[in-house]
Amino acid sequence: MAKYPTPHIDASPEDFGKTVLMPGDPKRSEFIAKNFLTNARLVNDIRGVKGYTGFYGGEKVSVMASGMGIPSIGIYSYELYNFFDVENIIRIGSAGTLDESVHIRDLVFAMTASTNSAFSSQYGLPGTYAPGADYTLLSTAVKEAEKLGAVYHVGGVLSADTYYDDDIHCLDKWHKMGIKAVEMEAAGLYMTAARAGKRALAICTISNSIITGEEMPAADRESTFVQMIETALKTASAMKGK
């Protein structure tokens, strides 16, 4: 029995490419579609979460927003993987650095995604699950970033359930365990991909420093994120046959 359209995606499997880029912001998905894809068309607009499909490097690629937080990306990635035949999802978003060696505008590839979320409890595992990126996507993306001359780091991130946390020192505890940056979605994406037997990767641009309080000016974000977007798109194009 067909399970589409879903309550959140009004489309059919043929409307999506095998790889979907997922920024958090619907405006960023529109920006990517208009500026990087050829023959892009709107394939979803339920709840204003815009999804587009077009071509990059001759390959069919989609971009659709995830919204903010693990519950939101959990819904969209689950439906894309399980109902719309998507094989790869690449999250592209911002993160705050917890590491003195990781600077504003650097890229961070989330090899692992720790979390303070209870998302994994649904699987009933007899222990603590360690969400990680797909190696093929990760290694391909790193090669593409190197070709672009990007400054990048590979390591662990924290996918936080709270933006305003009552424990003002909570991130210090993650920093001492080597976590490079904090964001809010990767762990949920990685777990959903693992359960579906699909691939996932999170690439983040550092927009602010938790350590120093430095922040990227809002006007710079769109232009600065281009390197991350191009890395993700080149990775999507390179995934043909993998």
SS (HEC) of 3-46: CCCCCCCCCCHHHCCCEEEECCCHHHHHHHHHHHCEEEEEEECH
AA letter at 51: G
Q: How would you label 89-106 residue by residue, b for 16+ Cβ within 10 Å and e otherwise?
A: bbbbbbbbbbbeebebbb
20: left (phi over 0), alpha (psi -120 to 50) or beta: beta
**Cα–Cα dist 44/31, whole Å:** 15
- Classified as helix, coil or strand, 222 is helix
- What pLDDT score was predicted for residue 224? 74
Q: Are strands 59-64 and 181-183 parallel, antiparallel or unpaired?
A: unpaired
Q: Are 74 and 68 in contact (CB under 8 A)?
A: no
State residue 222's pLDDT score.
65
For 203-222, what is each residue's pLDDT tens digit? 999 999 999 999 998 777 76
The whole-number average pLDDT for the span 1-29 is 90
Per-residue pLDDT, averaged over 128-150, amounts to: 97
Q: What value does the mean pLDDT take over residues 47-52?
A: 94
Cβ contact 192:74 at 8 Å? yes
Report residue 196 as tokens.
């579906």
Q: Residue 36: pLDDT band by 50, 70, 90 thresholds?
A: very high
**Cβ contact 206:103 at 8 Å:** yes
2: confidence class by pLDDT, cuts 50, 70, 90: low
* 26, two tokens: 């619907």
Q: Label the pairing between strands 19-22 and 152-159.
A: unpaired
- 102, 206 Cβ separation under 8 angstroms: yes
Asked if residues 50 and 44 have their Cβ atoms less than 8 Å apart, the reply is yes
221 by DSSP, 3-state: which? Answer: helix
User: Which amino acid appears at position 127 of this protein?
Assistant: G
